[in-house]
Structure 1
């Protein structure tokens, strides 16, 4: 009987849709509606009011970041969508479309976080929204402070919901005091962009340096968020908690290869992410109403996280050691793509591959 159920489940997976849609006209969801200038945000007594609990305003932070850093990103390659910051608004859009910006509290009747809400708001109770706060507000404040966004002194106030004010920060000074490591790394990225982009080094080396600084900042933000947002994660089902933890830890593998997260590559890696919040009854990789790609991604993320925990962090340490050169990191990006996107890739061979790569360092 169990065998029959398994066959039926895999048959359903085969006929269900392929990977999910994570862009709208090739851009993050509702990108065109987001303000593209600081002057379009509300101002009170000369202070710009930023409301990151409004989806379009949080998306505006990314639009300003990308538009302001594009002049320094020519080493990433030709085209308008090569900026490695594109993965951040794409993630925010996936969280909205998959229902992960809503209040996960049991019995909540709030419509905040639903794409159909007007205006489209973000629930302060969402763990995913909390994590994203540290990947949107912190880099935005650092970019303004270093002069990458805006010219001259700009006064900003970040709106913080009163009932959860302790979990967030409301200004550059506040964020720098509460989260000095993350803010310092974001400032280091933005302060270095101009010098790196104008140097005489090859585009390949410039690209690797910029990506290294970017991922160091993203990892610092994620580590900060992991602690600050932990209580909210308890509101989700155990399968969703496991996915959230594995999704968060997967960033360390991506960071180690200095992954170039332009729109095309980010879309490819985000399309197989689960298109809805997981429930207590969901058992990946056999979730009938999710695609085969989504089930595979859930399985691989969970497998990598579990193996690393079982080996007391040895898998991640070995991965990081193997990514010891620009060439090794390029190979690591291909390996990561095979592992996550190719269901036929033998995951058990990963340790051997990494050990061989490490010996050549």
Structure 2
């Protein structure tokens, strides 16, 4: 927590600057038991919810409250209490506990959820902001004006969530559609965080490179409509690096990181390098290949093999993606 306090402002927009591969404690996100279970547990001024997003427990509490508020609408996601795609967000926050957080994938969905009535009738939210910070928004109107694309996409997700609850479509179709809306909003939030790219200069080039490769990997996850529930998120986040990368770190030969961590770093770097060498073609091919529910299911399986199975040959990934794209 001390390191988070010191670096909180600096890393407000950091997409993936890492802390620890441990993402759960007692089966829940880190410090979940200490978070607020109701709105009145957070600061309220003149009837307006006024959380401090630089306070780890406040931000984790916002996730807990948003998950609780949207769970009644998440029936198509599965029968488990942790099947909502929102579970990936508090797990990611826990992973970043000692090094930084992504403001845009925290504040924007919460503000949109409140605006769309999920957090209670007429609830207004005003995020606290440190003095001197001018590139981040603090309430729904402010964020909509500064980042209209991201906010409109979060609004579309929450409106779609309400509509899906009344839809007669099969759960599989509703789930796929909602996950598409969810990841479109997530990626828009990520793109919005580019306003803070200058802060990356405070980090080693190897860590910045990892952050960029992490963002590149999100393009694949998004296109496949990955269901970032508790189980899947833990599976994919556990092999992430357990410390901030330093100059000289070169996967897969970083001695104080595990084989799984080295493998994950190598795969992320390979995916980004391959895409850059191909002028962005690999991401475009992948997006084209994810053209149906069937191919998206295959895509999820392939990503799991690529990231979690060290015996999976990367050249196979290229050939399979090319074949899938041409068949769409």
Structure-2-length-normalised TM-score: 0.92
- Could you tell me how far apart the structure 2 residues matched to 1:35 and 1:246 are? 34
Query: Which residue is 2:218 aligned to?
Result: 251
Q: Distance in 1 between matches of 2:273 and 2:72?
A: 41
Partner of 1:174: 142
Q: Note the C-alpha offset of 1:159.
A: 0.7
Aligned counterparts of 1:47 and 1:178: Cα–Cα separation in 2: 21
1:160 aligns with 2:129: yes
Q: Hey, what's the Cα distance between the residues in 2 that align with 1:49 and 1:356? A: 51
1:341 aligned residue:
308
Q: How far is 1:20 from its partner?
A: 3.8
Partner of 2:109: 139
Contact 2:114–2:124, Cα closer than 8 Å, also in 1: no
1:221 equivalent among 189, 207, 226: 189
Q: For residue 46 of structure 1, report the CA deviation from its aligned partner.
A: 2.1
Aligned pairs (5 A) from 1:180-259: 180-225=148-193, 227-259=194-226
Asked whether the equivalents of residues 21 and 95 of structure 2 are also in contact (C-alpha less than 8 Å), the reply is no
CA RMSD of aligned residues (A): 1.1
Q: Secondary structure at the match of 2:49?
A: strand
The answer to whether 1:89 aligns with 2:59 is no
1:320 corresponds, among 283, 287, 292, to 287
CA distance in 2, matches of 1:70, 1:287: 41
Query: Which of 312, 317, 321 is residue 350 of structure 1 equivalent to?
Result: 317
Displacement of 1:61? 1.1
Greater Cα radius of gyration, structure 1 or 2: 1
Partner of 2:46: 45
| CA displacement 1:29-75 (0-9 Å, x = unmatched) | 00111112111111222222110000000001111111111111111
Q: Which residue of 1 aligns with 2:58?
A: 57
Whole-Å Cα distance in 2 between the matches of residues 155 and 202 of structure 1? Answer: 35
Q: In 2, Cα distance between the equivalents of 1:94 and 1:217? A: 21
1:246-325 to structure 2, matched below 5 A, reads 246-325=213-292
Alpha-carbon offset, residue 161 of structure 1? 1.1
Gaps of 5+ in 2: 1-19
Contact kept? 2:204, 2:247, Cα under 8 Å? yes
Task: Compute the displacement of 1:331 (Å).
Answer: 0.1
TM-score of the two chains, using structure 1 as the length reference: 0.84
Shift of 1:236: 0.6
3-state SS in 2 of match to 1:62: helix
Q: Give the corresponding residue for 2:24.
A: 23
Counterpart Cα distance in 1 of 2:125 and 2:84: 25
Distance 1:92 1:45 in 2: 29
The one-character-per-residue Cα deviations of 1:222-271 (angstroms, maximum 9, x if unpaired) are 0001x112011111111101101001111110000000111000000000
DSSP-derived class of the 1:51 partner? coil
Q: Which residue of 1 aligns with 2:17?
A: none
Counterpart of 1:50 in 2: which secondary structure?
coil
Runs of 4+ deviating beyond 4 Å: none
Per-residue CA deviations over 1:199-222 (Å, capped at 9, x if unaligned) read 110010010011000000000000
Distance in 1 of aligned mates of 2:242 and 2:171: 36
